[in-house]
Structure 1
Amino acid sequence: MSLSRRTFLGLTAAATAGLSSPLLGSALHPASGAELSAPDTEFAVGVRQFNWSRGARSLYTKVFYPTPGAPGGAPVPNAPVADGLFPVAEWNHGMGGNSDSYASQTHAIASAGFICPAPSISDNTNIGSVYGGQWSRDVSEVITRTLALNGSGPFAGHIDTAAGVGVSGHSMGGMTIHGLVTAWPDERIVAAVPVACVDMGTPAASARAGVLFIHGDKDPTCDYALARRAYENCPRPRRSSPTSARTTPRT
């Protein structure tokens, strides 16, 4: 049975909220402005591995995606893609992480009806590369490679290349995501969810993404005040829904 694909949460304002899973939900298709339907059941999850690169930087990536079968359980390697058309929603790990570090997020994103590339950034403890934009540029390259999968091979015809792209990540990965709507903007991004990030700069005039900030106000590692500053720099309309919570103290 072919199911209508899930689209992105229509974020028109930045907000702070409690961590939920998955981080992206249904919304508007930017090409038409019309609200589109989403699957009303979860998918089983498949996974494929790609040894991509950007220059000398390795971008080993696991792509999680909807596959036929009963939901739940471990992702099935090299399984077929489920019937339907699915947008891309990338996830980025934090310090010392890799493609498998945030399985609760990547698997949930894919089971909700998204193609979810999760790269393993090569210098995964180098915060200087995050501040220098290397991680943000890496993610842009992963987005390019993922969208290109729609042209041939097992993903051909299953990736919604017109819906825009969602990105999310935690800590250094959250900083990377904020960089993609500020200092190193990627205009393909329509929804960005930086989790436990710090301020990476002023929102770019070309950025069109709705942004959802998630950050515990008792975070002992990533300064909550810097995430608040990033939120305050976002253009209006915006809304804050503060909660008292601790985000995972992993950088």
Structure 2
Amino acid sequence: MRRQPFRAVLAATTVATTLAVLGCSGGSGSSAAEPLRPSASPTSASSAAAGPRPGGVAPSRRFAVGRRELTYNRGGDRRLPVTVWYPAKGAAGGSPQRDARVADGRFPVVLFSHGLTGRPSDYRPLLTRWSAAGFVVVAPTYPHTSRGASELQVLDVVNQPADASYVLTRVLALADAADDPFRNHLAVDQVAAAGHSAGGVTTIGLFTAGRDARLDAGIVLAGTALGVGTTFSGSAAPQLFVHGKLDDVVSYQAGKAAYDRVPWPKAMLTLPDGDHGGALRGSDERALDVVTGTTVEFLRWTLYGDARALRRLPAQATRGGLATLDDRL
């Protein structure tokens, strides 16, 4: 993720917030976008899942990982290519295999949002580990904030929660689609959202201004509430924040301020020597191990309802002395 464009977003806080309230942005195609149709409206969020389901058991084995490419369009110029990593049949380890057969079972879904000028593939070291642990990771490429976009529109991030919910609707529908490889393999009632940087903004937006009542939990990686606010709504959805103290793109203080406003069970993993994204893309392998271990246990607890994972989480967060954990889960 380039530093300068997102700093432009930070400098435009007032404008972005106004745009978020108005439901528009600088994106030329926003007005033509297909309306959001989540399975439950934000006004009925109080009837959605309220925290982890008790008594579940997450898989203890590692899976092979498959990869699938899908393409959707929310209307106008909002084309949304989607990469899906998922547990696959075969021996664990090795590179993800395109269109590999899905492993036996029904797996929770994690919706992942990339950072500004990023793409889902940038996060493969982290996301494939989530899939190997038993999660289907759904990662859209956003039309105006991704690398290679015809025109980078930094304020379009406020439209991305609606994009994310739209993609989630389309992918979850595959669980009942005749002859689709994901038929009977998606746990449509066990869903989380996660995202990095501008994708962290998108993720927070899915629990605030664009609340998607299907979401049971959230993971915010080096994110801030810029443009989407901190009016968290709906049923309790535990949140895990991850932030480096040396982040020179999104300040640690900005991430902590958003974390402090979360009214639900929450935890914040702090990497004292962490930068903006090295622990996510694999350039810092030891930090990646800590982030992976912590996030996997969080997802096992929130989506599978595995209480043992919650007990293991603090040890994963603090192993090696690379991070500290503010644990309010």
Please give the residue correspondences for 1:66-105 in structure 2 after superposition, counting only pairs within 5 Å: 66-105=87-126
Match of 2:221 among 195, 199, 205: 195
Instruction: Establish whether residue 54 from structure 1 lines up as the match of residue 74 from structure 2.
Output: yes
Instruction: Establish whether residue 155 from structure 1 lines up as the match of residue 182 from structure 2.
Output: yes
Contact 1:185 1:207 in 2 (8 A): no
AA aligned to 2:72 is W
CA distance in 2, matches of 1:176, 1:115: 19
Seq. identity, %: 35
CA distance in 1, matches of 2:69, 2:264: 40
Secondary structure of the residue that 1:186 maps to in structure 2? coil
Please give the residue correspondences for 1:106-145 in structure 2 after superposition, counting only pairs within 5 Å: 106-124=127-145, 125-130=152-157, 133-145=158-170
Distance 1:249 1:105, change over 3 A: closer
Alpha-carbon displacement from aligned partner over 1:166-205 (angstroms, at most 9, x marks no partner): 1111111111111111121111111101111112412332
CA distance in 2, matches of 1:184, 1:192: 14
Contact 2:218 2:238 in 1 (8 A): yes
Alpha-carbon displacement from aligned partner over 1:220-242 (angstroms, at most 9, x marks no partner): 01022111111111116555564
Distance 1:180 1:110, change over 3 A: same
Contact 2:51 2:238 in 1 (8 A): no
Question: Shift of the alpha carbon at 1:137?
Answer: 0.9
Compute the TM-score of the two structures, normalised by the length of structure 2: 0.62
How many residues of Structure 1 are paired with residues of Structure 2 in the alignment? Answer: 219
Deviates more, 1:229-238 or 1:186-195: 229-238
Alpha-carbon displacement from aligned partner over 1:82-129 (angstroms, at most 9, x marks no partner): 000101112111111123111012211111111111111111243201
In structure 2, what is the equivalent of residue 219 of structure 1?
A: 247
Note the aligned Cα RMSD (angstroms). 2.1
Distance 1:228 1:156, change over 3 A: same
Instruction: Establish whether residue 42 from structure 1 lines up as the match of residue 68 from structure 2.
Output: no
Secondary structure of the residue that 2:107 maps to in structure 1? coil
Alpha-carbon displacement from aligned partner over 1:51-108 (angstroms, at most 9, x marks no partner): 1111120110011111111111111111111000101112111111123111012211
Question: Shift of the alpha carbon at 1:35?
Answer: 2.2
AA aligned to 1:215 is H
Q: Whose helix fraction is larger, Structure 1's or Structure 2's?
A: 2
Q: Which residues of structure 1 form unaligned runs of 5+?
A: 1-28
CA distance in 2, matches of 1:83, 1:237: 32
Secondary structure of the residue that 1:161 maps to in structure 2? strand
Compute the TM-score of the two structures, normalised by the length of structure 1: 0.81
Question: Shift of the alpha carbon at 1:217?
Answer: 1.6
Question: Shift of the alpha carbon at 1:249?
Answer: 5.6
CA distance in 2, matches of 1:63, 1:248: 24
AA aligned to 1:221 is V
Contact 1:179 1:185 in 2 (8 A): yes
In structure 1, what is the equivalent of residue 282 of structure 2?
A: none
Secondary structure of the residue that 1:162 maps to in structure 2? strand
In structure 2, what is the equivalent of residue 171 of structure 1?
A: 197
Instruction: Establish whether residue 185 from structure 1 lines up as the match of residue 211 from structure 2.
Output: yes
AA aligned to 2:75 is G
Distance 1:31 1:85, change over 3 A: farther
Deviates more, 1:50-59 or 1:195-204: 195-204
